[in-house]
Structure 1
Amino acid sequence: MTALALDIGGTKITAAVVGEDGRPGEPLTVPTPQSDVWQACEELLDAVSVGSDVDAIGIACAGPVDTVAGTVAPINIPEWKDGFALTDAVRTRFDSASVTLAMDGGCAALGEHRFGAAVGVDDVLSLVVSTGIGGGLVLGGRIVHGRSGNAGHIGHIVVPGSATPCTCGGLGCVETVSSGPSAVRWAQEQGWTGSTGADLAQSASDGDIVAITTLQRAGVALGQAIASAAALVDVNLVVVGGGFAQAGPPLWDPIQESAALHAKLEFLDGLEIVPAKLGAVGTLTGAAVLASGG
């Protein structure tokens, strides 16, 4: 049996053959193009599966998704924002393979539950803080999809004090405050002259007041969203990954302090917020678990 894992995000697309242990093998990655996104996915899948008969494919995709219809409409992939029949496209190319689709945040949660920071914990919320803010849930040891496949999409929890328009069409989503691009944009409006989330983290480390304030603002909002979500779904472990989450103490300290300030219900005693262990392959790992029947 040959199984493949595919992870489609707004910045990059990654694919790998799934190992016998349910983990992805050495991945191949390409930047997400502005157009012909499916062609890029198809070429990547062909490259990793060359010479193999593919029996199963697990797909993680940026949301929103519709796992019932097999369609995706990622906010951060403009070509697909009005909907793309991803499952049908994969089945047309690999007509004998089973295809399982899930939101990327859910796959991140599943990967961390099976192999990462949440091993041995049956109830966990995962956040991916990057170009956007994704999220996912494992409850009772199983990934939770919800009615349409978007359960755990924490990036669109509304946080106090923000009425910034979001690309989803709403106002004040935590993604408008705490994603990498949103934080960079706000810092630039305050006079900061850098251009990326990594620049922002470095500036904060160097003592730049605007950068420190920006990460404090992002961390407080994330802590508020985490406390709200943890109360809603009754978890006491939250795993946070993604590129912007690597910003260090100027982001992490406000996350912890803000969550502690708001998570006061007795059943939230001992709420832990920990870094993801699987790094850049966390979501791909969850897709591999899906492909292997997990």
Structure 2
Amino acid sequence: MAERVLAVDIGGTKVALAVVDATGRVMAERVVPTLQAGAEEIFAPIGGAIAELVSDWPGELRIGIGSAGPIDSRNGAVSPVNIGAWRNYPIVERVRDAARWASGHDPATVKLIGDGHAIALGEYWLGAGRDVESMIGMVVSTGVGGGAVINNELFTGTTGNAVHIGHTSINFLGELCVCGNRGCVELYARGPALAATARDRGLGVADAKELTQLARDGDPVALEVIDQGMRALAQGIVSAAVYLDVPVVVLGGGVSKAGAVIFDPLRRHVAEYAVLSYVTDLEVRRAELDNAGLLGAAALAHGEVELR
């Protein structure tokens, strides 16, 4: 395992970069906004942050990237839904070039995974999944993403997009999703969807945070809206657990930070749907790390198998 690595966590509103040691300690960090601009204008501040962090890098340089997707891990490219100017953008090549220019030598490795997988790997390494060999990691925020560690190995699939729970259909007659499918989990469980449903029911909420506060205050409509959304999320979670045969799901993201008002109905519905013998004890845990995606990218660079 390398003494230190560079981790890059690319999201729709910000990009976090950090130097992370072998214990998961963040030694230096930079955060830059994800600009609404052309492809290279978006990358420019990322390249600048890379230069600041690696200009005097000691020894071998290893880099891990976690990015919103879809991604193409085989070709090192990304096409994030929420970064419109990046379509098949060669992020691995651009990060490698920026690091080479700043450090004066070619990085030993630059690896790419989706943000859901980065979150799963971070929680497996240092968070709520550190005591298990197999788990699903999820984020529920403006979208619903996922990733999995199976028998101590990250499972990413052929192109790096496996376990994309948010775009699993739970209603084949449902409305059309932006991905082109119908009845996806995201349509019902992501934060903006919960808030939109609440407004349709007459609640004047701006976002999921306001909705969950109303639910904590006992508003019956807010409680019903959340219950419906968590029923949809539970269906997606149980379906993924059935496919992958895992005992633990770790849930993070903005929506999960609401606490019991989210987790109580979610766990109740998971128990209702998890009826096959090998998933009846499926456990849903709250994520422990605020920067799981960044630490997952670091874990990727360190070496994603047997990190403990």
TM class, shorter-length: over 0.9
Aligned pairs (5 A) from 1:105-254 = 105-160=116-171, 163-254=174-265
Write the distance in 2 (CA, Å) between the matches of 1:253 and 1:161.
27
Q: CA deviation at 1:145?
A: 1.4
Seen in structure 2, the aligned counterparts of structure 1 residues 208 and 29 have a Cα distance that, compared at 3 Å, is farther
For residues 23 and 59 of structure 1, the distance between their equivalents in structure 2, rounded to whole angstroms, comes to 17
**In the alignment, which of 77, 90, 99 is matched to residue 85 of structure 1?**
90
The corresponding residue for 2:103 is none
What runs of 5+ residues in structure 1 fail to find an aligned partner?
none
Alignment of 1:274-293 (within 5 A): 274-279=285-290, 281-293=291-303
CA RMSD, aligned part only?
Answer: 1.8
Larger mean Cα displacement after TM superposition, 43-52 or 29-38: 43-52
User: Structure 1: how far apart are the matches of 2:219 and 2:55?
Assistant: 49
Q: Does 1:58 align with 2:58?
A: no
Structure 1 counterpart of 2:131, one-letter code: G
* Identical-pair percentage: 38
Q: Contact (CA 8 Å) 2:118, 2:295: kept in 1 or not? A: yes
* AA in 1 matched with 2:92: T
> Equivalent of 2:283, from 272, 278, 289?
272
Given that 1:91 and 1:99 are in contact with CA atoms closer than 8 Å, whether structure 2 keeps it comes out as yes
Structure 1 residues 231 and 39: CA distance shift in structure 2, 3 A: same
Q: Is the 8 A contact 1:219 1:253 kept in 2?
A: no
Instruction: Identify which of 256, 267, 274 aligns with 1:263.
Output: 274
Unaligned runs of 5+ in 2: 101-105
**Secondary structure in 2 matching 1:76:** coil
Query: Contact (CA 8 Å) 1:5, 1:24: kept in 2 or not?
Result: no
Larger Rg computed on CA atoms: 2
The answer on whether the counterparts of 1:109 and 1:126 sit within 8 Å (CA) in structure 2 is: yes
Q: Structure 1's 88 and 14: CA in aligned 2 closer, same or farther, altered over 3 A?
A: same
Alpha-carbon distance between aligned partners in 2 of 1:198 and 1:49, rounded to the nearest angstrom: 38
Distance in 2 (alpha carbons) for counterparts of 1:208 and 1:71: 45
Aligned pairs for 1:7-46 within 5 A: 7-35=9-37, 36-46=41-51
Partners of 2:172 and 2:182 within 8 A in 1 = no
**Which deviates further from its counterpart, 137-146 or 176-185?**
176-185
Q: Distance in 2 between matches of 1:211 and 1:161?
A: 26
Partners of 2:36 and 2:83 within 8 A in 1: yes
SS at match of 1:30: strand
Residues 40, 223 of structure 1: alpha-carbon distance in 2 compared, 3 angstrom cutoff: same
Residue 26 of structure 1: CA displacement?
A: 4.7
Aligned equivalent of 1:75, options 81, 86, 100: 81
- Whole-Å separation in 2 of the counterparts to 1:39 and 1:195: 33
Q: Which amino acid aligns with 1:72?
A: V
Would the alpha carbon gap of residues 249 and 125 (structure 1) be closer, same or farther in structure 2, given more than 3 Å must change? same
After TM superposition, the structure 1 = structure 2 runs for residues 99-110 of structure 1, keeping only pairs within 5 Å, are 99-110=110-121
Q: 2-side partners of 1:194 and 1:133: how far apart?
A: 20
TM-score by length of 1: 0.93
Q: Which moved more, 1:44-53 or 1:68-77?
A: 44-53
TM-score by length of 2: 0.89
SS at match of 1:78: coil
Residue 7 (structure 1) shift: 0.3
Q: How many angstroms apart in 1 are the aligned matches of 2:215 and 2:13?
A: 24
State the one-letter code of the partner of 2:70. P
- 1:292 is matched by which residue type in structure 2? H
